[in-house]
Amino acid sequence: MTPGTELGDFLKARRALVAPSGDGGPRRRVAGLRREEVATLAGVSADYYARLEQGRHKRPSQSVLNALSRALQLDETASRHLFDLARAVADPNGNKLDKRAQRVRPSLHALLDSFTEHPAFIRGRRTEILAMNPLAAFLLTDVMAKPVRERSLIRWAFLDPEARSRYLDWEKVASSMVGTLRLDAGRHPHDPLLAQLVGELSLHSEEFRTWWADHRVVERRDGVKRLSHPLVGELEIGYEALDVTGVADQTMFIYTTEPGSASEAKMRTLASWIHDDSKRSSRTP
């Protein structure tokens, strides 16, 4: 992934999503805005904007990036991604990735285990699961039992058929994961493991290739998921994503259910199953 190419591809993909306003001219052959229209809206020359898309301009100013963000109608997440991409172009040797394996503090492991009725896990770079409590492993899949290189949540979602049966809205969830991985690629353009993951997913999944090419970015902070578990059936689950303080690129996800709902009862059934299994295991000689 070359920073200049990534920036240009992002600009092209995003202008294709913007509907021209008051366009009464002939039918367009391609969707979205033309280069010249983006340049006009951003207050730059058409040649300057063309060089940005072609990766030939290395240092767009903050004011230009802000203007492009408005012209392309980017939300806060997409705007931040635009700045990340531009920063990588301006300083190809900057933002060096810490190649040490990400570690979770012991206190956070204890915190996860204390959530006995709430699935919880910590996600790192490349959507890798760094730690998860037993209920999360039972609800989704025991990622921590897999080899280190296979602990990426997006890898499980696209390459393991089990994930498609667990996520009732698989396309929505999986495409969102692609948008999250795009954000990660913008923050860490020199990450060889991320490039390897993208290559593997592109090779094996047409859906991934399609969604990766549209350059949408997604930051998941809260929402609702519909899951299906072979023991209890369908559950509707809310989630909150909380940044881990004092460390970069770690997010804690906590799953909850509506009090008094059927999903809450089902979650308690799963939790009790784990508790009973743990007691049985402790009694085994």
- pLDDT of 282 reads 47
Residue in 164, 109, 154 with CA at minimum distance from that of residue 133: 109
pLDDT in tens, 170-209: 999 999 999 999 999 999 988 999 999 999 999 999 999 9
pLDDT one-digit tens code per residue, 199-236: 999 999 999 999 999 999 999 899 999 999 999 999 99
Interhelix angle for 170-187 vs 76-90, to 10°?
A: 40
The CATH 3.30.450.180 portion of the chain extends over: 106-283
Read off the DSSP letter of residue 26: S
Find, among 271, 232, 248, 279, the residue nearest to 113 by Cα. Answer: 271
pLDDT digits (tens, 9 = 90+) for 84-129: 999 888 776 655 666 778 999 999 999 999 999 999 999 999 999 9
User: Domain 106-283 - what CATH class?
Assistant: alpha beta
Q: Write down the pTM of the prediction.
A: 0.89
Task: Say which CATH superfamily domain 3-90 falls into.
Answer: lambda repressor-like DNA-binding domains (1.10.260.40)
